[in-house]
Amino acid sequence: MNWRNAFVLAQKESRSEWRQRSIFGALLLYAVLTVFLIYFSFRHVEPILWSGLLWLALLFGSVDALSKGFLQEGRDRHFYYYTLIGPIEFLTAKLMYNILLMVVLGFFTLLLFILFLGFPVVDIGAFACILLGGMVCFTILFTFMSVLAARSGKSTTLVSILTLPIAIPLLAIIISATQKTMIAHSFGEYSNDLLFLSALNILLLALAVILFKYTWQD
Amino acid sequence: MRISFMNLVKTAAVVLLSYTVVAGLLMPVPRLEILNETIRNLYFHVPMWFSQIVIFSVALYHSLRYLMAQGNSKISLKEKQKIDLAAYSAVTVGMLFGVLGLLTGMMWANFTWGAPWSSDVKLNCTAIGMLMYLAYFVLRASFTDEEKQSRFAAIYNVFCYVLFVVLIFVIPRMKEFSVHPGNGGNPAFAKYDLDSYMRMVFYPAVIGWICLSIWIWDILRKYREVLLFRSLQD
């Protein structure tokens, strides 16, 4: 494992993203459209609904943002990477870049939500922890599953089919934790949820790291 | 007759399940409100889930074996395909037992909780678990290359099993409320009303159903091997 290689690759990813700004712009526009759609369908959103809608918007945003990465690259690019670096370095680079992308996208969606639908959260610190933990969870899951889908050479629907069943229970836990940040003032109320979320992140990361090397050869 | 592991399993399945059906329907059961005679479903509904987790563990074992063997050139291609078929068949049988478990559970719930499907944590978690394993079949179907199909199916199966265990054993215990015993603060069967007569049927029933699932798996695995290798000869 060479951290420098991984870092260089992650840098290259973000640079090429920056050069084709239209794709990144499309993702931001997608976020704006989703929030607008919610705004026009509900107008006024109750706090209970707010957290659910926020996470649904984030979930569908991340399906779009993360599944395109591997599907675009194709087989030839994969062979090129294969000659350059090891599987773990590749995964680390992709995860670093995807987490950065998701944090930017998530923050942007949240800003839009605050702008159009208000901000019912009381405990901002805990909310930030849950948001970050949830986003990292989604990123690891989607990155790994999109590798599986990409190697089959089939359409993006496969990514959704593979990830959504696993995302449903995660979403349920994250949403109920988010709802608690709207009423509670003490950390003890959601320490359990936070603990579970971090344990799950570690589990997902461990599984991805252990299993990724088997996807490496074509 | 040679005594092999499979012969033991088959004999146990026949003997224990005949006993389960006869004793399960005839032996005395405690008279409880609401449950009444439906408590006998315990010998059929609960062992389905035991068998499912056992057979999914068999699938996990064979998927791990496949991933270990996959890079090893000493192991022949045919041997690797056999391991993959073992894992694939185990997932299929696991799904079968899951469907049977859901059906028997829905029948039971209809008489005791008033509806075949209630929004209970454990019900929802199992439904999601089944969806996760259905995705396994979709993933398999979307590969055209046979070697890649086996490899990626094995990778997904390992990933899936770990999350399935979290889903089935961890999440239901975190929630505050569940109608299932042993979850959400409800007492488990041991503390409940499983009296000594019921234990005499319940434990043999669990072993019997597990043996039956292994038997079905063995037949399915061999059937698929025959299909595959015959098509290769043509």
**Percentage with pLDDT > 90 across chain A:** 21
pLDDT of residue A186: 66
Residue B143: left (phi > 0), alpha (psi -120 to 50), or beta?
Answer: beta
- Interchain proximity B171–A207, CB inside 8 Å: no
- The answer to whether residue A155 scores a pLDDT higher than 70 is no
Asked if the C-beta of A195 comes within 8 angstroms of chain B's C-beta atoms, the answer is: no
Which among B67, B70, B152 has CB closest to A148? B152
pLDDT of residue B191: 46
Contact B150, B84 (CB under 8 A): yes
pLDDT of residue B193: 56
Residue of A nearest to B66 (CA): A214
pLDDT of residue B1: 60
Which carries the bigger pLDDT value, residue A6 or residue B36?
A6
Which chain A residues contact residue B156 at CB under 8 A?
A: 148, 162
Asked if the C-beta of B21 comes within 8 angstroms of chain A's C-beta atoms, the answer is: no
Query: Where are the domains positioned within chain A?
Result: 3-216
Which among A154, A168, A200 has CB closest to B142? A154
- The answer to whether residue A85 scores a pLDDT higher than 50 is yes
pLDDT of residue B175: 65
Which carries the bigger pLDDT value, residue A58 or residue A153?
A58
Asked if the C-beta of B72 comes within 8 angstroms of chain A's C-beta atoms, the answer is: no
Q: What is chain B's pLDDT, residue by residue, as a tens digit (234 residues)?
A: 668 888 999 999 999 999 999 988 888 777 777 777 788 888 899 899 999 999 999 999 999 999 999 888 888 888 999 999 999 999 999 999 999 999 999 988 888 888 888 877 788 888 899 999 999 999 999 888 888 899 999 999 999 999 999 888 887 777 655 667 655 444 455 545 567 778 888 899 999 999 999 999 999 999 999 998 888 776
Asked if the C-beta of A207 comes within 8 angstroms of chain B's C-beta atoms, the answer is: yes
Asked casually if ipTM beats, i.e. exceeds, 0.90, the reply is no
